[in-house]
Structure 1
Amino acid sequence: MPIPVENFFLKPDSKGTLQARIQQMVAEGILSGRFRRGEKLPSSRKLAHHLGVSRITVTLAYTELLANDYLTSRGRSGYYVSNDAPEPPHFENTPRKEDAVDWSRAIGQKFTGAVTLVKPQDWAQYHYPFLYGQTDPQLFDHANWRLCALQALGAKDFAALTRDYFDQDDPQLVEFILRHTLPRRGITATTDEVLITMGAQNALWMTSQVLLTQRRNAVIENPCYPSLRGVLTQSRCHLSAVDVDEDGLPPEEIPENTDVIFTTPSHQCPTSYTMPLSRRQALLERARALDALIVEDDYEFEMAYLKPPMPALKSLDEDGRVIYVGSFSKSLFPGLRLGYLVGSAPFIREARALRAAMLRHPPGLTQRTTAYFLSLGHYDSLIRRTGKALNDRRAIMEHAIRKHGLTIAGKGTYGGSSFWMRAPDHVDCEELAQRLAKVGVLIEPGTAFFADDIPPRNFYRLAYSSIAQARIDPGVAEIAKAIEATPVT
């Protein structure tokens, strides 16, 4: 593939004849590393037209570069960067000229500095990846996803692929969510009560932007998903963290002045506790008494393989005060970044306007491919296959944890894909994770999940969604050995 002709331009302040300036332009491109050995240059005719010079001027410049081993000619094929061209210099140790901008003053609002989870990009290279939320390639239905993508790319779906939906969504995907996904959670909704999002995180961010101001008060669970805490901190609302127990968020602990309650009743993040029906009803009563809204992140409800999942909080809501967040990114693959919001029409209308101003809509190809994958039954097959595999791995993991003397702090009653673990009080799980990574074991330290000023450091999460069964026991053994080797201070 030739170097695009748009990459060539003459500097207005360069000196010398046109021929010399063209030689300098090409040579600088090679010396800077922009043009690499073996890459083809534009033809003399095309470059001459682009630069607005005569063809003979470009030809003479190419000829001179050819003589100096910057270029080579391949018969009637054209000119290429020579394999003998000078190597671009290495600038790693050369100090870059500092910006004239004072960024500490120019940046109006900072988004860095929050405590976040660290997920190694090369996690699959580790022998024992007890890392949450990653996709097991042995379980994912590559073949049918590829077929659905090809179908979405077909001429019949040209409009769905290419059109600007502006503030709307793929009607096929919305229809499936309304008729199949939501009824399974006991939820009924209409088209104007559903909005497609770029995953659950995007849904939570839009919800916070629409509902919260500096004068409003929000409640989160403690511990909870760190990125949710970051989103709410950015909204500058007054934020309270309520400690969860084995039944999830205790309604009686929610402060009197609360406006919005964020909760994960299906599988509390990260403990995996499931909120029982009686507490769900009590939470709705508490929200009614406070005239507060509830944002329900229906986290991992598809992974209820031990027994049928509890009805969604939204399905019990008679006041329209619950906003429901769902996601396909957890159940299909995290890179999909596709979720949905369900709420009363006035709320969805505002969220839709915010999304349109920010990113218009999620890509049409992604929406239509997912719609086909869902509607053709591949999604249900994948969930059944994944549930069976997770059930088997969970049993092996639980046995290994008991065998090696580790302590479970929380586990899903209905299923899930991870255990919330507690190490002895003297163990710093951040430091433990660093030591384990050196022997091929990945765990998630739990510190980031807590809102406390001085959070406990002896919690960690072990996931089994992407680790082979045969590696679970030896991996848990390595964790137990590392904890045992931690000195008591």
Structure 2
Amino acid sequence: MGISVDTFFLELNGQGTLQAQIQQMIAEGILSGRFHVGEKLPSSRKLAAHLGVSRITVTLAYTELLANDYLTAKGRSGYYVSQNAPVPPKYSPVPRGTETVDWDKTLARRFSDGDVLPKPSNWRDYRYPFIYGQADRTLFDHANWRLCAVRALGHKDFESLTADYVDQDDPLLIEFIARHTLPRRGIAARPEEILITLGAQNALWLASRILLTHNRNAVIEDPCYYALRSLLDHWDCTVTPLSVDRDGLPPEALPDQTDVIFTTPSHQSPTTATMPVNRRSHLLERAKELDAMVVEDDYEFEMAFLGAPSPALKSMDRDGRVVYVGSFSKSLFPGLRLGYMVGSEPFIREARALRSLVLRHPPGHIQRTAAYFLSLGHYDAQIRRMSKTLAKRRDAMDTAIAEHGLTVAGRGVLGGSSMWMSAPDHVDMTRLAHKLQSQSVHIEPGAPFFSGPEKPQNFYRLGYSSIAAERIAPGVKLIADAIRTS
């Protein structure tokens, strides 16, 4: 493989002769690993024309590098990076100077200091991966997804593949969501009231950006999805965390100054609590009293394998004050980054305009592929297959947890793919999670989900969407043993 001539350039204020600068440029490319052993360099004529120097200058530089064993010549074929060149295993750019920017002064906002969950990139290599929200390759319908992707690449779908939708979405995907997905949640919506997003996180960002300002007040659950809390912290609005109980967010605790309520009523994140219908009605009544908007994140409603899911809060909304957020990330795969939001037309109009300013729209090919996968029945088949498997894993979790005396702090009454656990108060689960990695066990510490400086350290989450049923019991035993000896 040849090295493109476009990767070569001379520094404006380079030191030394042109021949020396060319030698240094090529040597640095080899030493940094940017140029690999066996790669062919541009011809002396082509490189000279590109750099605007004489051909003899390039030839002399090549000759010197050849003598130093950086390059090797192959007859009339040209010059190549030598097998004996000191090439490092990975590309590591050579610094071209010391940065003088004062980043403490330059950065107007910081987004890197929020709470995050540690998630090793090689988690699939763990023997006991109690990880949440990741796809199980044994359950995913690769074959039909591939067929749908190929179909979406066809001539018939050329416009959906290549067109700039500007602020619009794939009409086939919108139609499926309106006619099939939303009615299952008791929601009726027109296309003008539906917007496709890059997952639920993007939907929450859009909703918070539109509904909140520096003089408005938001209420979040405590504990809650940690990324939502970090997101709101950057909007300069007032954020009030309210502790959830076994039924989710308590409406009577909402402050009188509340403007926007963020809640996960069907499957509270992360405790998995399901809000009863009467409390949902109470929440809507309280929101009406406050003239507050409600953002409902209805994640994982498809995973209700123990019973029919309760109607969505949006289905009970008669005032248009609920913004509904859904996602295909948990039911298909998180890398899809495809979700949707439903709201009154004036709200969706603004969300559509804001999305267009930031990212235009989610890729058309992804939308059309998902539309085919959903409309051809593959999605429903996958949900049935996942539900059946998750039910078995849930039984294995219940049995193992009871056998080893672990404490469940929350389990989804209708299903789901995780359990919220608590250890004795003195146990630091963040430290224990790190220790368990040496035994090929991955668990998620619960501290990042809590608000405030004094976060409880004894909670943790056990996901079972990506661990084989037969590995659950021995994995739970290792966790129990580690907690007992802490």
TM > 0.5: yes
1:168-223 Cα offsets, whole Å, 9 max, x none, are: 22222112111211111111111221111111111101111100011111111111
CA distance in 2 between partners of 1:23 and 1:107 (Å): 38
**Partner Cα distance (2:273, 2:300) in 1:** 11
C-alpha change, 1:440 and 1:14, in structure 2 (3 Å) is closer
SS of structure 2 residue aligned to 1:246: coil
Partner of 2:297: 297
1:326 equivalent to 2:331? Answer no
Q: Post-superposition shift, 1:329?
A: 1.1
Residues 33-52 of structure 1: pairs in structure 2 closer than 5 A = 33-52=33-52
Report if the CA contact (8 A) 2:36-2:87 is conserved. no
Match for 1:125: what amino acid? D
Which residue of structure 2 lines up, in the alignment, with residue 446 of structure 1? Answer: 446
**Residue 191 (structure 1) aligned with residue 191 (structure 2):** yes
The alignment partner of 2:284 has SS state of: helix
- Return the alpha-carbon distance in structure 1 between the equivalents of residues 313 and 90 of structure 2: 59
1:421 paired to 2:421: yes
Amino acid of the residue matched to residue 481 of structure 2?
K
Map of 1:335 onto structure 2:
335
Query: In 1, distance between residues paired with 2:89 and 2:223?
Result: 50
Alignment of 1:468-483 (within 5 A): 468-483=468-483
Distance 1:90-1:431 versus aligned 2 partners, 3 A rule: closer
Contact 2:19 2:60 in 1 (8 A): yes
Cα distance in structure 2, aligned partners of 1:119 and 1:472: 19
Residue 153 of structure 1: aligned partner: 153
1:171 maps to what in 2?
A: 171
Counterpart of 1:80 in 2: which secondary structure? Answer: strand
What is the CA–CA distance in structure 1 between the aligned matches of 2:439 and 2:364, rounded to whole Å?
A: 43
Is the alpha carbon distance of 1:479 and 1:189 closer, same or farther for their aligned partners in structure 2, counting shifts above 3 Å? same
User: What does residue 240 of structure 1 align with?
Assistant: 240
User: Cα deviation per residue 1:390-448 (whole Å; 9 max; x = unaligned)?
Assistant: 00000011011001111111111110001111111221211221222221111111111
The residue aligned with 1:396 is 396
Report if aligned partners of 1:217, 1:257 keep a CA contact under 8 Å in 2. Answer: yes
Q: Deviations over 1:274-320 (max 9, x none)?
A: 11111111111111111111100001101011111111111111111
Amino acid at match of 1:464: Y
Structure 1 residue 452 displacement after superposition: 3.9
CA distance in 2: counterparts of 1:427 and 1:89, whole angstroms: 41
Structure 2 unaligned residues grouped into runs of 5+: none
Residues 315-353 of structure 1: per-residue CA shift (max 9 Å, x gap): 111111000001111111111111111111111111112
Shift of 1:27: 3.3
Paired residue secondary structure (2:481) = helix
SS of structure 1 residue aligned to 2:239: strand
Deviation at 1:156, TM superposition (A): 2.5
How far apart are the structure 2 equivalents of 1:30 and 1:51? 19
Alpha-carbon distance between aligned partners in 2 of 1:186 and 1:286, rounded to the nearest angstrom: 21
Q: What's 2:459 paired with?
A: 459
* CA distance, structure 2, for counterparts of residue 319 and residue 239 of structure 1: 24
Matched, 1:258 2:258: yes
Deviates more, 1:316-325 or 1:453-462: 453-462
Q: How does 1:13-162 map to 2 (within 5 A)?
A: 13-14=13-14, 21-53=21-53, 58-59=58-59, 61-75=61-75, 77-87=77-87, 98-162=98-162
SS at 2:483's partner residue?
A: helix
Q: For 1:319-398, what aligned pairs fall within 5 Å after superposition?
A: 319-398=319-398
Cα deviation, residue 15, structure 1: 6.2
Match of 1:9 in 2: 9
Q: Is the 8 A contact 1:31 1:89 kept in 2?
A: no
Moved more, 76-85 or 173-182: 76-85
Q: TM-score, normalised by structure 1?
A: 0.93
User: Is the 8 Å Cα contact of residues 305 and 387 (structure 1) preserved in structure 2?
Assistant: yes
Q: Which amino acid aligns with 1:264?
A: T
**Do the aligned residues in 1 keep the contact of 2:182 with 2:188 (CA within 8 Å)?**
yes
1:122-158, Cα deviation, whole Å (9 max, x unpaired): 1112111111111111111111112222222223222
Q: Structure 2 CA distance, aligned partners of 1:257 and 1:118? A: 35
Identity of aligned residues (%): 66
- Contact 1:32-1:89 within 8 A present in 2 as well: no
In structure 1, distance between residues paired with 2:15 and 2:100: 28
CA distance in 2, matches of 1:346, 1:90: 52
SS across alignment from 1:461: strand
- Structure 1 residue 248, shift from structure 2 partner: 1.1
Whichever residue aligns with residue 368 of structure 2, its letter is R
**1:24, CA displacement in angstroms?**
4.3
Which aligned pairs between 1:211-290 and structure 2 lie closer than 5 A?
Answer: 211-290=211-290
Q: How many residues get paired?
A: 485
C-alpha separation in 2, matches of 1:420 and 1:32: 47
Distance (Å, rounded) in 2 between the aligned partners of 1:90 and 1:189: 52
Which amino acid counterpart does residue 50 of structure 2 have in structure 1? H
Partner deviation per Cα, 1:2-25 (whole Å, 9 max, x = no partner):
111111123344467655554443
- Secondary structure at the counterpart of residue 325 of structure 1: strand
Change (3 A) 1:449 1:12: closer
Contact kept in structure 2, 1:213 and 1:237, CA below 8 Å? yes
Is the CA contact 2:37–2:87 (under 8 Å) kept in the aligned structure 1?
no
CA shift, 1:60, in A, is 5.4
CA contact (8 A) 1:176 1:374 kept: yes
Query: Retained in 2: the 8 A contact 1:128–1:442?
Result: yes
In structure 1, C-alpha distance between the alignment counterparts of 2:17 and 2:477, rounded to whole Å: 73
Query: Which consecutive unaligned segments of at least 5 residues does structure 1 have?
Result: none
How far did residue 89 of structure 1 move?
Answer: 11
Q: Matches of 1:173 and 1:390 in 2, distance apart?
A: 27
Compute the TM-score of the two structures, normalised by the length of structure 2.
0.94
3-state SS, counterpart of residue 410 of structure 2: strand
